[in-house]
C-alpha cells in the first residue's frame, strides 16, 4: 500500500474512519464485532485511525481506546474537538477553554498520553479561527497533541489558521459525487503543504451500491435528512450508478475499490498528499476497501467515472447543516 505524509507522520493512504462503529448510521455493531473490525484493520496494515468526541458522544473514543490502547505504537491516532454532544444534542463550541477540556476528556477515553493529529471538527463562527487554533497550538506545546488539523473549512480559513500554527491536515468530504473542495480548497492545501483527508469517500455507501432504498434506513440514520437520498433526487442519482457499475467491471475491481482509487489518484494531479478514511461496520467491506490500494485506474476509466457522477442531484447536507460549515 502506498504511503502519504501527514505533518510529521507517514501513513498508509487508506485509513479507517471509526464513526460507523458508534454513530450516525442506525444501530451500531456489537462491542465484540466492533473490536474484531478494529483489530482486523490493524492486522491488515491500517495505521491511521480517525475518531472524534462527537461520535457516539464520546463512545467512539472510548471504544478505540479500549480496543487499541495496547497497540498504540502501531498507528497514528486522529481525533477531533469543537463539536460534541451536550445533554443529548450536538453542539459546536470552539472556545479555547472548551477545546482544552475536550482534549483532556479525549485523552482519558482514548487511554493515551498524546493524540497524534487533533482536528477542529467544525469552525465555530462565533470564535475567530485564530483563537481556536491558538488553543490547539498550546496543546502542542504542552505535549498533549502532536499536530493540528481542520475539518470542513475553505481555503481562506485554512490560510488564516495556518498563519497561527502549521496545519498538518484538512479533512472534508470528497468523492466522485462530492467535489466541492476542487473549487479552491485542494489548491490551498497544495500551496501550504497541507495533507487532505477525504471522509465519506464512498458517498456514505452510495458509491459502493450499499443503499438499496433510503426509505428502509433506520429512523436515526443521518442519510434520511440528506437531500441526495430523498425523492426525485434519489431516483435520478440511482440511475447514475449503473455507469459506475459497468466501469468497475471493465477495470476488474469492485465499485468501492474504483471509487477509493479515484480519490487517491486525485492527489497526484493537484500536488496534495491525499488520504481516504472509509468507514464500515462489516469485515468483508473493510477488506474490499483496502484492496483499492492495489488498483490503478486507467485514465479513461477515471475520466468516465467522474462523468458518470457529474449530474448528481441534491445537496450533500440539509440547509441547516450547510450553515454550520465553511467552504469555498
Instruction: Give residue 317's pLDDT.
Output: 93
189 found inside a domain: yes
Instruction: Give residue 22's pLDDT.
Output: 96
201 found inside a domain: yes
148 found inside a domain: yes
Q: Can you give the chain as a three-state secondary structure string? A: CCEEEECCEEEECECEECHHHCCCCCCCCCHHHHHHHHHHHHHCCCCEEECCCCHHHHHHHHHHHHHHHHHHHHCEEEEEECEEEECCEEEECCCHHHHHHHHHHHHHHHCCCCEEEEEECCCCCCCCHHHHHHHHHHHHHCCCEEEEEEECCCHHHHHHHHHHCCEEEEEEECECCECHHHHCHHHHHHHHCCEEEEECCCHHHHHHCCCCCHHHCCCCCHHHHCHHHCHHHHHHHHHHHHHHHHHHHHHCCCHHHHHHHHHHHHHHHHCCCEEECCCCCCHHHHHHHHHHHHCCCCHHHHHHHHHHCCCCCCCCCCHHHHCCCCCC
Instruction: Give residue 89's pLDDT.
Output: 87
* Count of structural domains, the chain: 1
Instruction: Give residue 87's pLDDT.
Output: 83
CATH number at residue 58: 3.20.20.100
223 found inside a domain: no
Q: List, in sequence order, every residue forming a beta bridge with 175; answer none if it has no partner.
A: 178
**Rounded Cα gap, residues 101 and 94, in angstroms:** 11
Instruction: Give residue 292's pLDDT.
Output: 97
Instruction: Give residue 88's pLDDT.
Output: 82
232 found inside a domain: no
252 found inside a domain: no
Please confirm, yes or no, whether 55 is among the known catalytic residues.
yes
168 found inside a domain: yes
Instruction: Give residue 83's pLDDT.
Output: 97
Q: What are the backbone angles phi and psi of residue 2, rounded to the nearest 5°?
A: -70, 155
Give the range of the structural domain holding residue 122, as residue numbers without chain letter. Answer: 3-206+271-294
Instruction: Give residue 270's pLDDT.
Output: 92
pLDDT tens for each residue of the chain, 328 residues long:
699 999 999 999 999 999 999 999 989 999 999 999 999 999 999 999 999 999 999 999 999 999 999 999 999 999 999 999 888 889 999 999 999 999 999 999 999 999 999 999 999 999 999 999 999 999 999 999 999 999 999 999 999 999 999 999 999 999 999 999 999 999 999 999 999 999 999 999 999 999 989 999 999 999 999 999 999 999 999 999 999 999 999 999 999 999 999 999 999 989 999 999 999 999 999 999 999 999 999 999 999 999 999 999 999 999 999 999 999 8
- Copy the grid coordinates of residue 33: 464485532
Which one of 55, 118, 119, 317 is the catalytic residue?
Answer: 55
**Rounded Cα gap, residues 260 and 37, in angstroms:** 19
Instruction: Give residue 1's pLDDT.
Output: 64
Average pLDDT, the chain: 96
95 found inside a domain: yes
Amino acid at each position: 500500500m502506498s504511503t502519504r505524509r501527514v505533518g510529521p507522520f507517514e501513513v498508509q493512504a487508506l485509513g479507517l474512519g471509526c464513526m460507523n462503529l458508534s454513530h450516525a448510521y442506525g444501530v451500531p455493531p456489537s462491542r465484540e464485532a466492533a473490536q474484531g473490525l478494529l483489530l482486523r484493520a490493524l492486522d491488515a496494515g491500517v495505521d491511521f485511525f480517525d475518531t472524534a468526541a462527537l461520535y457516539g458522544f464520546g463512545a467512539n473514543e472510548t471504544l478505540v481506546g479500549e480496543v487499541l490502547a495496547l497497540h498504540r505504537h502501531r498507528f497514528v491516532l486522529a481525533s477531533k474537538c469543537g463539536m460534541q454532544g451536550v445533554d443529548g444534542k450536538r453542539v459546536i463550541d470552539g472556545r479555547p477553554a472548551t477545546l482544552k477540556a475536550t482534549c483532556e476528556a479525549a485523552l482519558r477515553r482514548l487511554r493515551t498520553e498524546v493524540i497524534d493529529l487533533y482536528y477542529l471538527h467544525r469552525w465555530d463562527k462565533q470564535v475567530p479561527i485564530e483563537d481556536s487554533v491558538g488553543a490547539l497550538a498550546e496543546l502542542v506545546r504542552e505535549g498533549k497533541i502532536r499536530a493540528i488539523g481542520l475539518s470542513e473549512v475553505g481555503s481562506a480559513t485554512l490560510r488564516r489558521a495556518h498563519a497561527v500554527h502549521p496545519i498538518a491536515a484538512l479533512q472534508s468530504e470528497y468523492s466522485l459525487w462530492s467535489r466541492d473542495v476542487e473549487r479552491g480548497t485542494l489548491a490551498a492545501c497544495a500551496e501550504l503543504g497541507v495533507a487532505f483527508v477525504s471522509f465519506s469517500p464512498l458517498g456514505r455507501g452510495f458509491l459502493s451500491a450499499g443503499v438499496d432504498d433510503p426509505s428502509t434506513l433506520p429512523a436515526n440514520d443521518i442519510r434520511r435528512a440528506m437531500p441526495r437520498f430523498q425523492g426525485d433526487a434519489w431516483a435520478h442519482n440511482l440511475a447514475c450508478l449503473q455507469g459506475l457499475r459497468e466501469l468497475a467491471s471493465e477495470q476488474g475491481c469492485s465499485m468501492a475499490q474504483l471509487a477509493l482509487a479515484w480519490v487517491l489518484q486525485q492527489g497526484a494531479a493537484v500536488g496534495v498528499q491525499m488520504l481516504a478514511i472509509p468507514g464500515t461496520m462489516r469485515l468483508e467491506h473493510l477488506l474490499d476497501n483496502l484492496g483499492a490500494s492495489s488498483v490503478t485506474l486507467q485514465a479513461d476509466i477515471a475520466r468516465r467515472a467522474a462523468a458518470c457522477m457529474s449530474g448528481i442531484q441534491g445537496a450533500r447536507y440539509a440547509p441547516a447543516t450547510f450553515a454550520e460549515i465553511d467552504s469555498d
